[in-house]
Amino acid sequence: MRLKDKVALITGAASGIGKESALLFAAEGASVVAVDLNDDAGNSCVEEIRAAGNDAIYVHADVSKSADCENMIGAAEREFGKLDVLFNNAGIMHSADDDAIHTDEEIWDLTMNVNLKSVFLGCKFGIPALLRAGGGSIVNTASLVAVMGSGAPQLAYTASKGGVLSMTKELAIVHARQNIRINALCPGPLRTELLMKFLDTEEKKQRRLVHIPIGRFGEAAEMAKAALYLASDDASFVTGSTFLVDGGITSAYVTPE
């Protein structure tokens, strides 16, 4: 088991990548701190983990709030005695996010707070806990749009994920000699509720699929496996990486026939 005796905190654990990661990390031996705003779904995730015979607790937190982030880290240490893995995964993609002309300031601020400020706050309180544990791993969910722009206007989302990637790289260097590895997971388009609520017709789905060389959307479970690699000692020489899991999108100019 790749996370045996580790304690892992995962934000956005009620659904999508976060839930799949919580289930997988627990199955790989970790005690899981599942963090979300959706209490029903968050508790359901924890119940599923416990039903499989593994340890987990649920913590309600608005990850854009300093006090909530400090509390979630404290909860991990109070319940399990330490923190080894921090997966800053929570994020939003707002339907009113558009280009610079049409995106309202409040949508910009909300997106930055949830997608970018939350990673800062997670690291602000999480890194001292990792140091107290003797080191560990941080995985931050960025996106392929942190590397290349989006053809569909979503400026706040794209800018926020670019910020996550830049922050990841700097923190990885700052803490490289302290036995803390920090990497950015950059997913491509996934068959999750977050994206499918926008691609709500077959035509919209096909317009996106034509750009994916593999020819399908990714699955949240596939991202969880990538996150597990980065979180585990299998990635002991990996830090500051832009870990693209995107079906080949960022490598393609023209997709295959």
User: Annotated catalytic sites, by residue?
Assistant: 157
Closest to 221 (Cα-Cα) out of 12, 22, 14, 49: 22
- Sequence-ordered list of residues with C-beta below 8 angstroms from that of 170, at least 6 positions apart, any chain: none
Tokens of 21: 């990661």
251 DSSP 8-state letter: G
Closest to 231 (Cα-Cα) out of 23, 80, 30, 12: 30
Closest to 72 (Cα-Cα) out of 40, 46, 33, 18: 33
102 DSSP 8-state letter: T
Residue with tokens 């080949």, as numbered in its chain: 248
Closest to 186 (Cα-Cα) out of 236, 145, 230, 220: 145
Q: Do 107 and 152 form a contact (C-beta atoms < 8 A)?
A: no
Closest to 46 (Cα-Cα) out of 38, 54, 83: 54
Q: What span, in angstroms and rounded, lies between the C-alpha atoms of 94 and 174? A: 32
> How many of the other CB atoms lie within 10 Å of CB of 101?
7
